[in-house]
């Protein structure tokens, strides 16, 4: 299997109790920020991505969020571009996943087509193109697009980008949201007709069908770990795959897991507990529920489903107050010695047929030295146990870059 | 509560089946609902007691048909859909009442299709924007549900029982369907079209409106010529819920406002003698009770429909009066216009009915039902039955004078 470092870009110095008073998005007050510590937070994220590439991860992964304190990444292509160059210069054959520019949020989809194409060229064909809809607060509040149009925009933008990458001649585009006379982007992706496409989602049947119909990979990006609501999403995905005539190739499925590794279980708790809690309390747990479903973003049946499920299962409504013990017991975060962590991950990866694993190793206030230790330990002692998991079944990972001699300049 | 029935109207080339709630009887009245969708309210009951209320449900907000919103892509399309639906219902020329989001819809319909409504009532409508009075629509819609009442009411209200998940889901979706055309700022350029609204309009606002500040009442009032503005104290955005009595009084007085006034009396003279004072324009300034008519040239005695007589007003302007009804000795009506222009639609009528040998029952009517010049609404309103009575009395005095005794 393939394992990537998933890195968000939080401001690491939010004051104690920030999430009790403020939203972490849209209206998060900027006056809590010390400019020097912001600079340091951003620089650390770049450094940690490179550290992971050097430590032997198969890939690195970044996301887009605007007006956010927990992921200061208004355009992840900027971050990915630096990593693409640096890894090529060092000859590191690492996939670069942008997960991604939000297609339901953008007002300029061709810019995404161009940026992704450029990243694919600069990296020597190592791009995985994420096609997320975008979270409601980002699309409907930050970009201020009507909730009810979000998915319609997404579909049009996806189709436009795919066509812009593969159509050899200039073409006109008369969409509902976008109109162009001559689309003819430079450059085009090295990987033709297009880089592998990963679509993150929360697992609604409509989204899953759409992913399977396009033969994209599904990324289950929850903050819930594998236990809480994972099973129903994964089971649904594989059932739908069978229903739509797709094979059971585990590489069709990617999953994000928060992980913290230290020498022993006890030491892991001592080192990471406070940082993990800060991530949930002042980061993702401090996104108001209403900002994740601005009216129109989700259809009535989906809203009703979310409301009925709120009482049981998901961690979302409880994240803000979750204790370290609850996070660990529910596997929202997997924490411990390399053996503990590898055992837990291997079990659910096999059970749910996950072929592409994303691990989030930096959380909230976690400083760079501790994050780099987490990365090194994971890469050195956990990753080798995970990598061969699907080898015996002989599947090809069609959703991994077809790098053009990705070893780069030094190869 | 009125008996409410659901009518389905096909529109938009068959792509939409819009639900319209209908109740009551009497002349037709259209109601356009606010952001959360149509909820049958006591205000609608009161309207249904006097009118046949037609309350369309915004596309997508009718239970069981959420995807209808996809068929309406822009606000302009929404206006066209409603124009079609109103035509299908056969209620062109009805009065229209719009609340909040529905007020924006009704106002823009009236501006886009100036003959669609006969009267317009706007209850704290969206549709305009000024930087010194921002409308916290995004904050309200995306904020915590417990903050909602603060935007809608001036005073705290008893908590409603929490709605069940299905009701929350429908309500949330409804707001998604309406805010599609109000997001993030409900401004489609209505300010640049308000001047096209040419029917009598009433603008009602709660002084403590925390969603659409009362400052906008002035803007609508100024923008819609001849409109009236009523501001209700101790009242927030949801005025019909918070101040139902005062809101109803403002609406019902406006809707019931007579646009035809008349006065009658007996005059102790024969109809021929009285008619001469009316049909010869040169005699009219002598009995005018409005101090409006200055002088008219001799030799303009009206003889038939189609005649035009000229009159100098006391304000110094000249009016051409187009005779539209004429029966010698009995009846004459005319519509004034500026020189060379089309009459704006208001009409004067005199009717004479002999009673007995030497008396006449005289009726004077001022009718501004068809008046399309909002600039004249103020003066039209000021033309009361008292004014007409004053003319009648002066006419009587002239007609009843004994004939001048000759010098011979």
**Interval B160-182: pLDDT, tens:** 787 888 999 999 999 999 999 99
- Contact state of B173 with A308 under an 8 Å Cβ cutoff: no
Among the ranges given (A100-114, A249-263, B8-22, B145-159), the one the predictor scored with the smallest mean pLDDT: B145-159
Q: In which region does residue B64 sit, left (phi positive, over 0), alpha (psi from -120 to 50) or beta (all else)? A: left
**With an 8 Å Cβ cutoff, is B173 touching chain A?**
yes
Start-to-end C-alpha separation, chain B: 78
User: Mean pLDDT for chain A?
Assistant: 93
**With an 8 Å Cβ cutoff, is B252 touching chain A?**
no
B215: which 2 tokens? 């400052």
The per-residue b/e assignment along B229-259, b for 16 or more CB within 10 angstroms, e otherwise, is bbbbeebbbbbbbbbeebbeebbeebbeeeb
Mean pLDDT of A282-308: 88
Strand order in the sheet with B293-295: B260-267, B360-367, B347-354, B331-338, B318-327, B308-313, B293-295
Q: Where are the domains of chain B?
A: 4-256, 260-400
B186 has a pLDDT exceeding 60: yes
Chain B residues touching A290 at Cβ < 8 A:
142-145
- Give the whole-number percent of chain B exceeding pLDDT 70: 99
A316 has a pLDDT exceeding 80: no
A314 has a pLDDT exceeding 60: no
- Give the whole-number percent of chain A exceeding pLDDT 90: 84
Find residues 331-390 of chain A whose CB sits inside 8 Å of chain B: none
Collect all residues with Cβ–Cβ distance below 8 Å to A111 and sequence separation of at least 6: none
Separation CA B46–CA B28 (nearest Å): 14
Residue of A nearest to B68 (CA): A148
Chain B residues touching A144 at Cβ < 8 A:
138, 183-184
Kindly indicate whether the domain formed by B4-256 is annotated with CATH number 3.40.50.1820: yes
A70: which 2 tokens? 């927990």
A176: which 2 tokens? 């509902």
Chain B residues touching A178 at Cβ < 8 A:
none
Interface test with B, best of A22, A136, A146 (most B CBs within 10 A): A146
- Contact state of A307 with B170 under an 8 Å Cβ cutoff: no
Q: What is the pLDDT of residue A407?
A: 46
Helix (H, G, I), strand (E, B) or coil at B145: helix
A56, A385, A97, A69: CA torsion to nearest 10: -90
Mean pLDDT of A377-396: 97
Confidence bin at A411 (pLDDT 50/70/90): very low
Separation CA B205–CA B247 (nearest Å): 9
Mean pLDDT of B304-308: 96
**With an 8 Å Cβ cutoff, is A29 touching chain B?**
no
Mean pLDDT of A288-307: 88
Confidence bin at B404 (pLDDT 50/70/90): low
Phi, psi of A246 (to 5 degrees): -95, 150
Find residues 20-79 of chain B whose CB sits inside 8 Å of chain A: 60, 66, 69-70, 73
Chain B residues touching A295 at Cβ < 8 A:
141, 172-176, 179
B318 has a pLDDT exceeding 60: yes
Mean pLDDT of B352-373: 92
- Contact state of B173 with A299 under an 8 Å Cβ cutoff: yes
Per-residue pLDDT tens digits for B206-249: 999 999 999 999 999 999 999 999 999 999 999 999 999 999 99
- DSSP code for B83: H
Cite the beta strand spans of B237-277 per DSSP E: 260-267
Confidence bin at A410 (pLDDT 50/70/90): very low
- Contact state of A146 with B138 under an 8 Å Cβ cutoff: no
Angle between helices A368-377 and A35-55 (to 10 degrees): 10
Residue of A nearest to B62 (CA): A300
Confidence bin at B157 (pLDDT 50/70/90): confident
A27: Cα separation from own chain's centroid: 23
- The residue with greater pLDDT, A85 or A201, is A85
Confidence bin at A409 (pLDDT 50/70/90): very low
- What does A367-406 look like in DSSP terms, one character per residue? -HHHHHHHHHHIIIIIHHHHTTTTGGGT---TTS---SST
Q: What is the pLDDT of residue B200?
A: 95
Collect all residues with Cβ–Cβ distance below 8 Å to A159 and sequence separation of at least 6: none
Separation CA A241–CA A213 (nearest Å): 9
Chain B residues touching A299 at Cβ < 8 A:
66, 173
Interface test with B, best of A147, A156, A291, A306 (most B CBs within 10 A): A147
Q: What is the pLDDT of residue A404?
A: 57
Q: What is the pTM of this model?
A: 0.90
Beta bridge partners of A68: A25
Q: What is the ipTM of this complex?
A: 0.92
Chain A residues touching B169 at Cβ < 8 A:
300-301, 303-304, 307
Q: What is the pLDDT of residue B171?
A: 94
- Contact state of B169 with A301 under an 8 Å Cβ cutoff: yes
Per-residue pLDDT tens digits for A99-114: 989 999 999 999 999 9
Chain B residues touching A152 at Cβ < 8 A:
70
Separation CA B214–CA B261 (nearest Å): 33
Task: Give the length of chain B.
Answer: 408
Separation CA B268–CA A298 (nearest Å): 78
The structural domains of chain A, ordered by start, are: 2-410 (3.20.20.30)
Separation CA A254–CA A128 (nearest Å): 12
Other Cβ atoms less than 10 A from the Cβ of B103: the count is: 26
**β-strand pairing of B94-99 with B117-123:** parallel
Mean pLDDT of A145-166: 97
The C-alpha R_g of chain B, in whole angstroms, comes to 26
B408 has a pLDDT exceeding 50: no
A127 has a pLDDT exceeding 70: yes
Classify residue B260 by burial, with Cβ atoms within 10 Å: 0-12, 13-18, 19+: exposed
Confidence bin at A310 (pLDDT 50/70/90): low
CB pairs under 8 A between A and B: 75
Q: Which of B169, B170, B176 sits opposite A296 (nearest CB)?
A: B176
Per-residue pLDDT tens digits for B43-72: 999 999 999 999 999 999 999 999 999 999
- Contact state of A149 with B180 under an 8 Å Cβ cutoff: yes
Which CATH superfamily groups domain B260-400? START domain (3.30.530.20)
Q: What is the pLDDT of residue B250?
A: 97
Confidence bin at A315 (pLDDT 50/70/90): low
- Give the whole-number percent of chain B exceeding pLDDT 90: 88
Collect all residues with Cβ–Cβ distance below 8 Å to B45 and sequence separation of at least 6: B1, B2, B23
Chain B residues touching A145 at Cβ < 8 A:
183
Mean pLDDT of A40-55: 98
A142: which 2 tokens? 């930050």
- What does B55-76 look like in DSSP terms, one character per residue? EEPPTT-STT-GGGGGG--SHH
């Amino acid at each position: 299997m393939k394992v990537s470092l998933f890195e968000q870009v939080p401001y690491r110095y939010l004051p104690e109790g920030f999430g009790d008073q403020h939203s972490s998005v849209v209206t998060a007050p900027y006056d809590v920020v010390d400019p020097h510590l912001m600079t340091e937070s951003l620089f650390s994220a770049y450094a940690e991505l490179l550290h992971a590439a050097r430590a032997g991860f198969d890939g690195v992964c970044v996301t887009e969020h605007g007006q956010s304190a927990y992921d200061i990444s208004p355009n992840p292509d900027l971050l990915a571009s630096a990593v693409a160059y640096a890894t090529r210069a060092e000859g590191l054959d690492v996939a670069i996943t942008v997960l991604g520019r939000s297609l339901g949020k953008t007002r300029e989809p061709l810019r995404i087509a161009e940026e992704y194409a450029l990243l694919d060229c600069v990296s020597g064909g190592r791009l995985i193109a994420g096609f997320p809809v975008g979270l409601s607060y980002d699309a409907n509040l930050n970009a201020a697009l009507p909730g009810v149009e979000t998915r319609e925009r997404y579909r049009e933008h996806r189709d436009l980008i795919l066509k812009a990458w593969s159509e050899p001649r200039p073409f006109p585009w008369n969409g509902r949201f976008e109109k162009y006379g001559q689309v003819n982007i430079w450059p085009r992706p090295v990987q033709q007709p297009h880089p592998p496409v990963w679509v993150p989602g929360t697992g609604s049947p409509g989204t899953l069908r759409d992913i399977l119909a396009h033969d994209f990979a599904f990324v289950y990006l929850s903050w819930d770990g594998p236990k809480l609501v994972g099973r129903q999403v994964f089971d649904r995905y594989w059932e739908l795959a069978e229903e739509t005539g797709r094979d059971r190739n585990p590489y069709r499925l990617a999953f994000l897991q928060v992980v913290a590794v230290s020498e022993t279980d006890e030491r892991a708790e001592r080192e990471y507990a406070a940082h993990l809690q800060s991530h949930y309390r002042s980061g993702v747990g401090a996104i108001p529920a209403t900002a994740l479903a601005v009216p129109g973003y989700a259809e009535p049946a989906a809203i009703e489903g979310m409301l009925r499920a709120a009482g049981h299962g998901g961690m979302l409504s409880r994240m803000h107050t979750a204790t370290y013990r609850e996070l660990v017991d529910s596997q929202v975060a997997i924490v411990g010695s390399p053996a503990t962590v590898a055992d837990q991950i291997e079990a659910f990866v096999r059970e749910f047929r996950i072929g592409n694993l994303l691990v989030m190793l930096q959380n909230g206030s976690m400083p760079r030295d501790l994050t780099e230790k987490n990365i090194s330990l994971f890469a050195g002692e956990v990753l080798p146990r995970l990598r061969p998991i699907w080898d015996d079944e002989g599947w090809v990972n069609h959703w991994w870059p077809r790098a053009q001699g990705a070893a780069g300049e030094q190869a | 509560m009125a008996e409410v029935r659901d009518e389905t109207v096909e529109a938009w080339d068959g792509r939409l089946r819009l639900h319209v709630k209908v109740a009551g009887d009497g002349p037709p009245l259209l109601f356009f609902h606010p952001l959360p969708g149509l909820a049958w309210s006591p205000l609608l009951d009161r309207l249904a007691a006097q009118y046949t209320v037609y309350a369309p449900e915004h596309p997508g907000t009718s239970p069981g048909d959420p995807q209808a919103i996809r068929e309406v892509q822009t606000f302009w399309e929404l206006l066209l859909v409603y124009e079609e639906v109103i035509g299908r219902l056969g209620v062109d020329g009805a009065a229209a009442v719009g609340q909040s989001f529905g007020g924006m819809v009704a106002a823009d319909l009236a501006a886009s299709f100036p003959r669609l409504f006969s009267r317009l009532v706007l209850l704290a409508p969206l549709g305009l924007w000024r930087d010194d009075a921002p409308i916290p629509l995004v904050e309200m819609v995306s904020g915590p549900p417990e903050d909602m009442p603060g935007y809608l009411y001036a005073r705290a209200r008893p908590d409603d029982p929490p709605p069940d998940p299905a009701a929350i889901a429908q309500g949330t979706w409804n707001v998604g369907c309406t805010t599609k055309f109000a997001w993030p700022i409900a401004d489609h350029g209505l300010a640049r079209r308000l001047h096209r609204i040419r029917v009598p309009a009433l603008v009602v606002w709660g002084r403590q409106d925390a969603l659409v500040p009362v400052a906008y009442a002035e803007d609508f009032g100024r923008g819609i010529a001849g409109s009236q503005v009523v501001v209700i104290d101790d009242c927030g955005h949801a005025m019909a819920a918070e101040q139902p009595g005062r809101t109803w009084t403002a609406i019902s007085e406006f809707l019931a406002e007579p646009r035809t006034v008349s006065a009658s009396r007996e005059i102790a003279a024969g109809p021929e003698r009285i008619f001469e004072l009316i049909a010869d324009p040169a005699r009219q300034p002598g009995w005018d009770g409005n101090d409006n008519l200055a002088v008219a040239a001799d030799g303009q005695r009206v003889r038939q429909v189609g005649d035009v007589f000229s009159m100098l007003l006391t304000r110094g302007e000249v009016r051409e009066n187009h005779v539209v009804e004429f029966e010698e000795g009995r009846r004459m009506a005319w519509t004034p216009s500026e020189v060379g222009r089309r009459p704006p639609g208001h009409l004067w009528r005199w009717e004479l009915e002999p009673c007995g040998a030497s008396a006449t029952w005289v009726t004077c009517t001022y009718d501004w039902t068809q008046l399309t010049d909002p600039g004249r609404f103020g003066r039209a309103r000021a033309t009361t039955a008292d004014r007409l009575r004053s003319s009648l009395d002066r006419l009587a005095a002239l007609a009843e004078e004994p004939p001048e005794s000759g010098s011979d």
